[in-house]
Amino acid sequence: MSENVREVRIMAVLDIQKYPEPVLKEKARPVEKISKDIQRLIDDMADTMYEAPGIGLAANQVGALHRVIVFDVTPKEEGRNLSVLINPEIVAASGELVHQEACLSVIDYSCDVRRKACVTVSGLDREGKPVQIEAQELLAVVLQHEIDHLDGILFIDRISRLKRSLYKRQIKKNLKK
Ligand SMILES: [Zn+2]
């Protein structure tokens, strides 16, 4: 194989872990070094998110316990604008909003979730450069949802116990089929 051929990156779509997979309940570890493996994970997560399609994906969802998220809330007609955050952290938050959420790991379900309306998130970009994002509306929701994943929290953990138990019952029934 020639050098040139080796440079071609093959698109890799990973399996998305679905509730109740235990990895979704685990806490992801901070990334200490942005190695080639982490770069590849980021690329594969982006492919997986766009293929799904989704607007955000956390590493736990592809079974990798590293604090990495990818997201893109750009409207479809405006093309792609991928964002990557490594070791993201909410450093400020204010206000409240309620938004209907769904998740690639929680099949056939969506529900209103109460979140902070505005968040400031700091982290590293894929080159390791510190970045800070001020987000509101949909982007604020996505960032809180994805950072929750890194802490082993799903959006169904943030709804009422009654709604959650109805969903769990439905899933159990489906798994038995
Ligand atoms: Zn999710």
The CA distances from residue 105 to 13, 140, 154, 175, in Å, are: 15, 19, 9, 15
Average pLDDT of the chain, as a whole number: 94
Distance 32 CA to ligand 1 centre (A): 24
The predicted structure's pLDDT at residue 70:
98
- Reading the block at residue 156, the tokens are 């169904």
Q: Which of 3, 32, 101, 146 is catalytic?
A: 146
User: For residue 113, what are its two tokens?
Assistant: 């979730």
Q: How does pLDDT run across 100-125, given as a tens digit for each residue?
A: 999 999 999 999 999 999 999 999 99
pLDDT of 170: 87
C-alpha to C-alpha distance for 84 and 94, rounded to whole angstroms: 23
Cα 19 to Cα 126: distance, rounded to the nearest angstrom: 28
Q: What is the CA radius of gyration of the chain?
A: 17
pLDDT band for position 7 (50/70/90)? low
**One-letter amino acid of 109:** Y
Catalytic residue status for 146: yes
Instruction: Note the pTM of the prediction, 2 decimals.
Output: 0.93
pLDDT of residue 39: 96
Residue 114 Cα, ligand 1 centroid: separation in angstroms? 15
